[in-house]
Amino acid sequence: MNLNAFECCLAFIRSIGIPVAERSIEEATFLPGILICDGGIVIDRAQLKYPGDVLHEAGHIAVIPAAERATVCGSNIANRPERAAEEMMAIAWSYAACRYLDIDPYFVFHDEGYQHGGKQIADQFAAGQWFGVPMLQYAGMTAEPRMAETLNRPAYPVMVQWLRP
């Protein structure tokens, strides 16, 4: 486990206002050792298989509108009406966070994640072939490079804010 990158991710997640708790997780989770619960993240280090997944899960929480954030749990994310858009936003958010933290994107976008397409996603993003960015722009979190000057916002992958208002 790359503890330096993992600890950096945890510190960042906490610094933007997403609660992180560490405890044993007894229930089944989508990702081993990580549970989204009441707008925060619970980590069970003994079960954690891919520590970079924590940054992507934080992205799920971050892109949910503030008024709904505290109610999000692992069991209800898949049933959200905007699930597909929020997944794309969380991926783009995660890549921006990797760049901001100077963490190798393959730490988050590993080959066992994203239906075994993590490396391909990271490669595409590194080449400027992004998805999810227009939705982050719509939420006021960043700007597509071609719109940055017009919107008076920094261009993606720089984020104006890490949590959706």
Query: pLDDT tens digits for 11-22?
Result: 999 999 999 999
User: Does 77 reside within a domain?
Assistant: yes
User: Does 163 reside within a domain?
Assistant: no
How many separate domains does the chain show? 1
| Centroid of chain to Cα 43 | 15
User: Does 30 reside within a domain?
Assistant: yes
User: Does 8 reside within a domain?
Assistant: yes
pLDDT (mean) for 117-133: 96
Whether residue 1 has pLDDT greater than 60: no
User: Does 160 reside within a domain?
Assistant: no
User: Does 102 reside within a domain?
Assistant: yes
Identify the domain containing residue 13 by its residue range: 3-151
Query: pLDDT tens digits for 127-163?
Result: 999 999 999 999 999 999 999 999 999 999 999 999 9
Instruction: For the chain, give the secondary structure using H, E and C.
Output: CCHHHHHHHHHHHHHCCCCEEECCCCCCCCECCEEEECCEEEECCCCCCCCCHHHHHHHHHHCCCHHHHCCCCHHHHCCCCCHHHHHHHHHHHHHHHHHHHCCCHHHCCCCCCCCCCHHHHHHHHHCCCCCCHHHHHHCCCCECHHHHHHHCCCECCCCCCCCCC
User: Does 57 reside within a domain?
Assistant: yes
- Indicate whether this model's pTM tops 0.85: yes
Query: pLDDT tens digits for 48-104?
Result: 999 999 999 999 999 999 999 999 998 898 899 999 999 999 999 999 999 999 999
User: Does 161 reside within a domain?
Assistant: no
